[in-house]
Structures are given as C-alpha cells and as structure tokens.
C-alpha cells in the first residue's frame, strides 16, 4: 500500500505531517512521491495566513481527478484548515474521505493509521524506519497568547505541554534511528512548563542526551526570554546559537494593537541581554507589513528595528485578516499595493542584511553537519557546500572561502 503525503505551512505542520507518515510507515505503508501511484493521500494543511489556506483548498480541488480515477483511494485532510473548516470541507469537497483537525494533532497519526488500516490492511513493519539526520520533536502544542491577528489559538487551541520524559524518550528514539540534530518545536516553545519544569530545564536535560550533536528550538516568544533560558543556551554544549524570534513590528502603537505583550524597546533590550549571554548568536525573525492603520512612519520603524537587529534572515508577510481574530474587526485599510510595496522594501533590506551576515563568515572556520555528502548547515544555521563527498551525519570543519546563492562554500579542514 502506498501513501503520498503533502504538508503545507510552518515547521509545526511539517512535523505533524512527518509524524503521521511515520505512523503509516510503521503500519506497513510505503511512501511514494508519485501521487498517481498512491492508494492514499494525507494532506496536512495550514491556515495562518489567507494565502496558505487558499493553497490547501486548491490542492484539495486538484486531488479530485486523482480520487475519481479510482474511488477506492482515500483522501485525508489534517491540520489547521481541517480544524477551521471541519465538516464544511467535506460538504464542499465530497471526495475528501476524512478530516482530522489540528486540535487532534497529537492523536492524528494514530487516527489516520487506524482508519487507513481498516480500509487497506497493510502488513505492519518489524524494523523501525530510519530517521532523517535533522529531526523535529514537538514539545508543546497550541498557544495561550492572543496576538490580535493570529488564528493559531483558535485552531490549535490552548497550550498543552508533553511530559518531559516523553520528549526525552522520543529524542533518544530518533537519535537511535540516525538523527544527529533535533529541533524542539512548539507554537510558543519557551512557554513549556510541565510538573514544575520550565523550558530552560528541558533544554538542559535535552542537551545531555547521548549521541546528540545539535539542539535547536522554535519559535520562542520574545516576552518569555528570561535569564535562565539565556544561561541554558550558553551552557548547552549542543545548543546552536541560532535563534528565530518573531518580532512582527518595530512600532509600539502597532505592537500594542497586535497585543504582542512587548514593546520595541523590550524586544531590543532582551536581544542585547541574549547577545551578552550568547556571543555570536545569529538571529532571525518574522515581520508583518500592512497591519490595519500602519502608516509609512510606523512601517519605517520596522525597517530601523531590522537594521538594529541585523538578522541573518527574516520572514516577512503581508497582513491578511483571518476570520474570527480580534484584528479582523479592524478596518483592513492599508491598500494592497501599499502592502506589496512595503513587502518589497522590507525584503530588499532583509536580503542586504542576509548577505552581510553570510559574507561575515568568509575566512572563518565553522562546524558543519553534513545532511548530504556535499551539503550541510553551520551551527549558526547557514547553508554550506563543499566539493569532496563525506558521510551524511558527520560533523566537519569548513574553511569558508566564498558565498554564492545564499550558501557558504569552502574546503573541509578536518
């Protein structure tokens, strides 16, 4: 039996999709990249921005011909669009067989494997499936924040943290199956709290796991970055000094309307403390342009914040009103063309800053983890290439000679 999986959206969504695929592979399914030969398709969806939801809907529409070619085929839709639209999806698209919403994300692999198992009876696998070199482990789901533009709290529900021992044991399993780098995932990953243990406690425990080469996490909330977390990052032997930390805007009035729980100054002061605690830390962020009532002056403050932050990357989005969120009640009054122009301007600045960050690496010797024989990433998250083939999973020293197409390249020195 063959399954084709499609995941749209953020790393949380990708991790949810990967967990479902793993459950299916353990149940005897074979993954196929060719949808035409699949007996089942599992589509994991995202609704954080209107564009992401449109992609999911059009993908479902396009899968109708695949389903019509053989009605025994099964189409499963999971994730955030499944949660938001629920039965509306099957009403509009009768060719969808099963809808499992994001609030069921923790149980989705089991639900999907059981349902597909009843229809197709695959032969369960005995040997565990080999893991990727870079794996993700979800530590918490949902979000207790109420950022006014964000649909996540309503589709993913309130925060639920996994028991610490379960997380460590999943990490050990993934490492035993070949993973070298683990990214701890959560919508607000540093809100982790379980039986009196905090995110910093979890980082310290996770860092000591035998066989782990690198530990990352995403995405932390700026207002929850405390000294304990900074020192855990600094002390961690394997914790990578590359932190993605969304700021969304550089203007206090907009930040207040967004209900972010921090000001521009709070954010920049926190970054200063982080940089003191973790010298050389490389940062990335998210920015929304064209939030309701954002003026040119407000937007210019997002640009100056980026100039101060000097991120190596930033993901910038045009604001889109999401149904049911508090900001959807505000007038979406920034014209589309102005949003486009601001997005163009912010992306141009981000490219310039990214190039500067990459070029600052030239001449240095960096550690890379080989994900393929000639490609990997530095601890600080930069992509890197080299000529001579090495065993995937090995840690190397690379003498950085040049930058081309957003990738470092050079000679391996050991």
**Positions that interact with ligand SF4 (CB under 6 A):** 143, 145, 147, 150, 152-153, 187-188, 221
74 vs 271 by CB, closer to ligand SF4: 271
Size of the site for ligand 5AD (CB under 6 A): 13
Nearest distance in Å: CB 188, ligand SF4? 5
Please count the other Cβ atoms lying within 10 Å of the Cβ belonging to residue 332: 16
Tokens coding 53 = 């939801």
Contact 78, 112 (CB under 8 A): yes
Q: Which two tokens stand for residue 353?
A: 């800053």
Work out how close the CB of 48 gets to ligand SF4 at its nearest, in angstroms, rounded to a whole number.
8
Judge contact between 309 and 285, C-beta under 8 A. yes
For ligand 5AD, the binding residue among 299, 319, 382, 386 (CB under 6 A) is: 319
Q: Which does 410 bind (CB under 5 to 8 A by kind): ligand SF4, ligand 5AD, none?
A: none
Specify the residue, 147 or 370, whose C-beta has the smaller distance to ligand SF4.
147
Would you call the peptide bond into 219 cis, given omega within 30 degrees of 0 as the criterion? yes
Choose the contact partner of 288 out of ligand 5AD, ligand SF4, none; CB within 5 to 8 A by kind.
ligand 5AD
Say whether residue 49 binds ligand 5AD (CB under 6 A). yes
> How is residue 325 written in tokens?
């969120």
Exposed e or buried b per residue across 178-217, where buried means at least 16 C-beta atoms within 10 angstroms of its C-beta: bbbbbbbbbbbbbbbebeeebbbbbbbbbbebeebbbbbb
Q: Which of 12, 48, 57, 102 binds ligand 5AD (CB under 6 A)?
A: 48
**From 248, 249, 302, 380, residue interacting with ligand 5AD (rule: CB under 6 A):** 248
Q: Give, for 228, the enclosing helix (H) or strand (E).
A: helix 227-235
Which one of the spans 155-163, 179-187, 207-215, 318-326 is the region binding ligand 5AD (CB under 6 A)? 318-326
Asked if 314 touches ligand 5AD (CB under 6 A), the answer is no
Q: How far is CA 111 from CA 124, 154, 178, 255, in A?
A: 16, 22, 26, 39
CA nearest neighbour of 339 among 323, 316, 319:
319
124 to 28, 183, 207, 346: CA distances (angstroms) = 4, 28, 33, 50
Q: Which is nearer to ligand 5AD, 177 or 268 (CB)?
A: 268
Q: What's the CA gap between 253 and 334, in Å, rounded?
A: 16
Which candidate, 184, 182, 174, places its Cα nearest to that of 134? 182
Tell me whether residue 191 or residue 288 sits nearer to ligand 5AD (CB atom).
288
Q: Does 243 bind ligand 5AD (CB under 6 A)?
A: no
Find the farthest-apart pair of alpha carbons in the chain and give their distance in angstroms, rounded.
Answer: 62
Per CB under 6 A, contacts with ligand 5AD among 124-163 are: 149-150
Q: Decide if 117 contacts 130 (C-beta within 8 A).
A: no
- State in angstroms the smallest separation of the CB of 303 from ligand 5AD: 16
Binding site partner of 386, from ligand SF4, ligand 5AD, none, Cβ cut-off 5-8 A by kind = none
Among 104, 170, 173, 286, the residue binding ligand 5AD under the rule CB under 6 A is 286
- Positions touching ligand 5AD (CB under 6 A) are 10, 48-49, 149-150, 246, 248, 286, 288, 317, 319-320, 322
């Amino acid at each position: 039996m063959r399954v084709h999986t499609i995941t749209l959206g953020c790393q949380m969504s990708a991790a949810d999709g990967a967990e479902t695929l793993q459950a299916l592979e353990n149940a005897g399914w074979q993954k196929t990249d060719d949808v035409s030969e699949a007996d089942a398709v599992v589509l994991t969806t995202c609704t954080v921005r209107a564009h992401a939801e449109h992609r999911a809907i059009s993908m479902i529409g396009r899968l109708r011909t695949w389903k019509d070619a053989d009605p025994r085929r099964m189409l499963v839709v999971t994730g955030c669009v499944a949660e938001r639209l629920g039965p509306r999806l099957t009403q509009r698209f009768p060719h969808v067989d099963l809808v499992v919403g994001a609030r069921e994300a923790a149980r989705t692999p089991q639900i999907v494997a059981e349902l597909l198992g009843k229809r197709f009876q695959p032969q369960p696998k005995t040997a565990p499936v080999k893991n990727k070199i870079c794996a993700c482990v979800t530590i918490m789901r949902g979000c207790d924040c109420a950022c006014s533009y964000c649909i996540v709290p309503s589709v993913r529900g309130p925060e639920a943290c996994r028991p610490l021992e379960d997380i460590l044991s999943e990490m050990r399993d993934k490492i035993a199956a070949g993973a070298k780098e683990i990214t701890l995932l959560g919508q607000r990953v540093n809100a982790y709290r379980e039986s009196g243990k905090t995110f910093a406690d979890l980082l310290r425990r996770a860092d000591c796991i035998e066989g782990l080469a690198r530990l990352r996490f995403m995405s932390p909330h700026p207002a929850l970055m405390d000294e304990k977390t900074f020192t855990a990052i600094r002390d961690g032997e394997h914790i990578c000094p590359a932190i993605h930390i969304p700021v969304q805007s550089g203007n206090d009035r907009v930040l207040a309307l967004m209900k972010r729980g921090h000001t521009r100054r709070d954010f920049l002061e926190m970054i200063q403390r982080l940089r003191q605690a973790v010298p050389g830390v490389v940062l990335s962020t998210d920015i929304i342009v064209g939030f309701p009532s954002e003026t040119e002056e407000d937007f210019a403050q997002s640009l100056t914040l980026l100039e101060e932050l000097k991120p190596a990357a930033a993901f910038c989005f045009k604001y889109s009103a999401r149904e049911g969120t508090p900001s959807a009640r505000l007038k979406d009054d920034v014209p589309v063309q102005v949003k486009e122009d601001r997005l163009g301007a912010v992306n141009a600045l981000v490219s310039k800053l990214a190039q500067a960050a990459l070029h600052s690496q030239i001449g240095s010797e960096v550690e890379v983890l080989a994900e393929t024989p000639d490609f990997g990433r530095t601890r600080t998250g930069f992509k890197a290439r080299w000529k001579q083939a090495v065993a995937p999973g090995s840690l190397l020293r690379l003498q950085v000679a040049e930058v081309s197409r957003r990738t470092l390249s050079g000679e391996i020195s050991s």
